[in-house]
Amino acid sequence: MSKGKAPCLGIFLLLAVSVGAKPTPIGTVTSCTAATIHGTSLVPGSTIFSGDAIDVGPGGSAWIAAPGGAQVRVFENSAVSFTSNENSIEVIVTRGVARTNSANIVIRTLPSVAGLPPRSAPAVYSQRKDCAVSKSAKRSTPCHDDSD
């Protein structure tokens, strides 16, 4: 193989792998209010994959559970995106505030966001009524309809 063809083949293979690669599951939405994922209403039970972006509106929140009992909470007026590598999950906060209870989840706030004070994000976790599959619920409720 000529010298010129080898890098081209490498790039082609890399692109082929990245195009064909299946997204990695990161966690599950356990609860949400006034939240969207890529513009579609977020629903409890939804899987979050690497590369997904969540937007939480005013008065909303989203809880994402990851394996091992790790959790991420995205506060109101916030936008985050998720990526993962072999050892950890990275949450990039592009707007607002997100918190986690796990050392395996890294929350990075963009510099433009970090300079701003958090917008009306409560400092402690609040206990919220469940909006997922409760005993009385016949169906999952899209987050924008969630009244709790």
Partner 1 sequence: MYFPHIQEAPVCSIRIQIRARELILVWVESSIRIFLAVIFFLAAGLATSSALAKWFSLQETPEGFRNAIRFAPWNAEYYAGMARALERPLKPQNLIEVIHHYEKAVQLGPRDAAYWSRLGNAYEWAGREPDAQHAYARALSLSPGSPAVNWVAANFYLREGAPDRALELLRKTILLDPDLRRPAFDLAWRAIQDGELIAGEMIPSRPDVHFEYLRYLVETGRIDEATAAWNRAVERGYPLDPKTAFPYMDALIQFHRTNALKDAWSAMTGSDPSLMETGKNDSNLLVNGGFEGEILNGGMDWRMDSVQGAAITMDRAAPFERTRSLEIKFDGSQNPADALVYEYVPVEPNTSYSFSGYMRGLDITTNSGPRFEICDADVPARLFIQTEGVLGSSSWTMRQLNFRTGPETQLLMLRVTRPASGKFARRISGTVWVDQLELHVDEKSFLNAGERNE
Q: Does 140 bind partner 1 (CB under 8 A)?
A: yes
Binding to partner 1 (CB under 8 A) within 58-87 occurs at 63, 65-71, 73
For partner 1, which residue of 6, 9, 116, 137 counts as binding (CB under 8 A)? Answer: 137
53 neighbors 79 (Cβ within 8 angstroms): yes
Q: Does 122 bind partner 1 (CB under 8 A)?
A: no
Element (H, E) at 6: helix 5-20
Q: Does 130 bind partner 1 (CB under 8 A)?
A: yes
For partner 1, which residue of 34, 52, 77, 98 counts as binding (CB under 8 A)? Answer: 52
| Closest C-alpha among 69, 61, 59 to residue 98 | 61
Q: Does 57 bind partner 1 (CB under 8 A)?
A: no
Q: How far is the CB of 4 from partner 1 (least distance, A)?
A: 32
Tokens of residue 118, six digits = 């958090």
3-class state of residue 30 by DSSP? strand
Distance, in Å, from the CA atom of 20 to the CA atom of 38, rounded to the nearest integer, reads: 21
Tokens of residue 45, six digits = 């039970």
59 neighbors 74 (Cβ within 8 angstroms): no
Q: Does 101 bind partner 1 (CB under 8 A)?
A: yes
**Site residues, partner 1 (CB under 8 A):** 22-23, 25, 28, 30-31, 37-43, 45-47, 49, 52, 63, 65-71, 73, 101-102, 125, 127-130, 132-135, 137-142, 145
